[in-house]
Amino acid sequence: MSNFEALTLILSCVAVIVSLAVWNGQRKLQREANDLQRVTAELSRKQLQLIKEQEQSKFALSLTKDGKGYKLVLANKGEADALAVDLRPIGTTIENNYLIASEMEEKLPIKRLRSGEEVRFLAAVSMGTPIVSEFHVSWHNADGTTGMEDFSVAF
């Protein structure tokens, strides 16, 4: 074997070692890029979920003192309007709780409750009124989904 052949063999081995090192580094970089892509996709899914949640209605129900009497206040705290909003007592009928049945029949279901709006119901509170009453609120979001939530209201 001549010096020229030996030098060619040595350079070829060095080139193979360098290409193996570069190839290994590229595999690590590709793995990191795939991991970053997975994290980015997961973050995008969470952002879309948060946007979707913001586009839905959220409600609050409270009993507030209004002058000498009390009112049950149903408020839309979400970013979106709610359609066909309905409020029903749980465990009792309308006649057996402190809300006035004729007023509830007149006001419910609410066709559209805009973001930030509220509806007040006169509450006939007396000494015999239960300390805690439960209510079921149901509605439709603008995207067609149905929402439901149960509330406990303390006197």
pLDDT, tens digit, 9 for 90 and up, residues 26-55: 999 999 999 999 999 999 999 888 777 667
User: What is the 8-class DSSP label of residue 14?
Assistant: H
Lowest mean pLDDT among 10-14, 89-93, 134-138, 144-148: 89-93
Does domain 59-154 sit in CATH 2.60.40?
yes
pLDDT of residue 40: 93
pLDDT, tens digit, 9 for 90 and up, residues 86-140: 888 887 655 557 777 888 888 888 898 888 888 998 887 776 666 677 888 898 8
pLDDT of residue 93: 56
Which of the two residues, 67 and 138, has the higher pLDDT score?
Answer: 138
pLDDT of residue 127: 66
> Residue 73 half-sphere exposure, CB side, CA atoms within 13 Å?
14
Residue 152, number of CB atoms within 10 A of its CB: 10
* CA atoms of 148 and 117, how far apart (whole Å): 18
* CA atoms of 33 and 45, how far apart (whole Å): 18
Tell me the whole-structure pTM to 2 decimals: 0.62
pLDDT of residue 54: 67
